Amino acid sequence: PQGIGSPSVYHAVIVIFLEFFAWGLLTAPTLVVLHETFPKHTFLMNGLIQGVKGLLSFLSAPLIGALSDVWGRKSFLLLTVFFTCAPIPLMKISPWWYFAVISVSGVFAVTFSVVFAYVADITQEHERSMAYGLVSATFAASLVTSPAIGAYLGRVYGDSLVVVLATAIALLDICFILVAVPESLPEKMRPASWGAPISWEQADPFASLKKVGQDSIVLLICITVFLSYLPEAGQYSSFFLYLRQIMGFSSESVAAFIAVLGILSIIAQTIVLSLLMRSIGNKNTILLGLGFQILQLAWYGFGSEPWMMWAAGAVAAMSSITFPAVSALVSRTADADQQGVVQGMITGIRGLCNGLGPALYGFIFYIFHVELNELPMPESPSGGSVVAQYHLQQNAIIPGPPFLFGACSVLLALLVALFIPEHTNLNVRSSNWKKHCGSHGHPHSPQAPGEAKEPLLQDTNV
């Protein structure tokens, strides 16, 4: 079945929204279960769990991206959403199994890779930056209300109801993909059967990285993504726990923080991103986003008061323009039948960061003795002040050492991004991709063997 209507960005947006809305509901319950399950070295264990998930995502992303180029996007949207949401019901059944399945689910936790390829199938170049920004903004929008709703329902009715509601929304997302989402990849670009061969080279993430190394421009982009997303992945895995346990935020304050940050991110990734892409270009938009990220991480690193966290959060919203701008730039280097491969490559690098970042942050917290041992849960303002005072006594100069490390990493990313050319010769780019990714091509393509490929995207000043 082809779904409802013709393929559109709105189909992808709804898939992303429902998936992350379900997980957003579990923000407060997850922090409680994490602390109860691992009362000692909580940050370290959190980093290891998220690290294993990220490494598995890195290993699987190229294969899923390449398979979606051959077999279509819809099947892999269904597969990634199902396995990403599979751990949700286990939270109340068995916390140990819950965290174990979260780790293993990283094999299929690459929904963004398939969604960005879906969007690339159905948009033109002048629409793509805005479309990527809309998808990224939807991720933020899904977190505007869901943590607050989850915290309220958990306080009034208990966490079991929150888990049931999150499971129901995940099932709704799966049903939406089955019934409503049409296939975006044209029939002429897909084989008649599911027997199309996929080589080991396409499934090997390290082979993909070697291909990246043979193309200097894509290499610069990928290094920029790695250095900028490494601290972001570590921050995302531990920051809400950090606010809750170390800075003394209540569950309601954490939910409000996420909501405000989400609203500002939506504005940044739609209106602000569109204006910046038109006025200063793709590359300068990336540089501006990296500059905001450096400021935000340094502020988190030295911030010792709750108001500093709120102020830095506003800056963090502006830094969210980086990834959609990078995705738009990467899509300009690939042909129509390579979008899944290149987006899978970028998602694979982000998956590697999702593995290394949380583990690195957890290890730095551990080195600097930022622990939760024998500390009360900050359910009241007095409890929060005890935690904050303990923390400030331990680290008076640098309250959040991992965030300062992250600022240094993003500074390196900014220096690398300066060497990315604003304009590229896409005829050369297209032939390079054809040469280095030849095994990813489709034998059923109507193009003649000796015919030069028409580049999908034009070299224009956005």
Closest CA to 367 of 337, 344, 336, 398: 398
Amino acid identity for residue 325 in this structure: A
- Mean of per-residue pLDDT scores for the chain: 74
Distance of CA 31 to the CA centre of its chain: 20
The 8-class DSSP code of residue 8 comes to -
Contact 182, 11 (CB under 8 A): yes
Q: Which fold has domain 1-185?
A: Growth Hormone; Chain: A; (1.20.1250)
**CA angle, 358 then 306 then 309, to 5°:** 50
Q: Report the alpha-carbon distance of residue 408 to residue 338 in Å, rounded.
A: 33
Show the 3-state SS of 148-170.
HHHHHHHHHHCHHHHHHHHHHHH
The SS3 of residue 400 is: coil
Number of Cβ within 10 Å of residue 102's Cβ equals 21
pLDDT number for residue 311: 82
Contact 245, 108 (CB under 8 A): no
Q: Report the alpha-carbon distance of residue 98 to residue 13 in Å, rounded.
A: 27
Contact 348, 208 (CB under 8 A): yes
Q: What is the DSSP string of 303-326?
A: --SHHHHHHHHHHHHHHTTHHHHH
Q: Report the alpha-carbon distance of residue 93 to residue 225 in Å, rounded.
A: 37
pLDDT number for residue 93: 85
Is-same-fold flag (1-185; 211-371+399-421)? yes
pLDDT tens sequence for the chain (462 residues) = 466 778 788 888 999 999 989 988 888 788 788 878 887 777 778 788 888 887 887 777 777 877 877 777 888 888 889 988 888 988 888 888 888 888 888 888 778 778 888 888 888 777 777 787 788 778 777 877 888 888 888 888 888 899 999 999 999 999 999 888 887 776 555 554 445 566 666 666 666 566 666 667 777 888 888 898 888 888 877 777 778 777 777 777 888 888 888 888 888 888 888 888 888 877 888 899 899 989 988 888 787 777 878 888 888 888 888 888 887 777 766 666 566 566 667 766 777 787 788 888 888 877 876 655 444 444 444 344 444 444 444 444 566 778 888 889 999 999 988 888 766 543 334 444 444 444 333 333 333 333 333 332 333 333
Which residue is it, tokens 């500390």? 375
Distance of CA 289 to the CA centre of its chain: 16
**Greatest distance between any 2 Cα atoms in the chain:** 74
Q: Report the alpha-carbon distance of residue 205 to residue 210 in Å, rounded.
A: 9
Q: Report the alpha-carbon distance of residue 336 to residue 225 in Å, rounded.
A: 22
Q: Report the alpha-carbon distance of residue 126 to residue 188 in Å, rounded.
A: 24
Convert the pLDDT of each residue in 271-297 to its tens digit: 888 888 888 877 888 899 899 989 988
Architecture label for domain 211-371+399-421: Up-down Bundle (1.20)
The 8-class DSSP code of residue 337 comes to G
**CA angle, 349 then 370 then 109, to 5°:** 25
Q: Report the alpha-carbon distance of residue 336 to residue 348 in Å, rounded.
A: 19
**Distance of CA 223 to CAs 318, 389, 422, 424, Å?**
21, 39, 16, 18
Contact 97, 90 (CB under 8 A): yes
Question: Which residues contact residue 215 at a Cβ distance below 8 angstroms, ignoring those fewer than 6 apart?
Answer: 333, 429, 432, 433, 436
**Distance of CA 94 to CAs 41, 91, 316, 321, Å?**
20, 6, 35, 38
Contact 91, 121 (CB under 8 A): no
Domain positions in the chain:
1-185, 211-371+399-421
Convert the pLDDT of each residue in 63-119 to its tens digit: 787 787 777 788 888 888 998 888 898 888 888 888 888 888 888 877 877 888 888
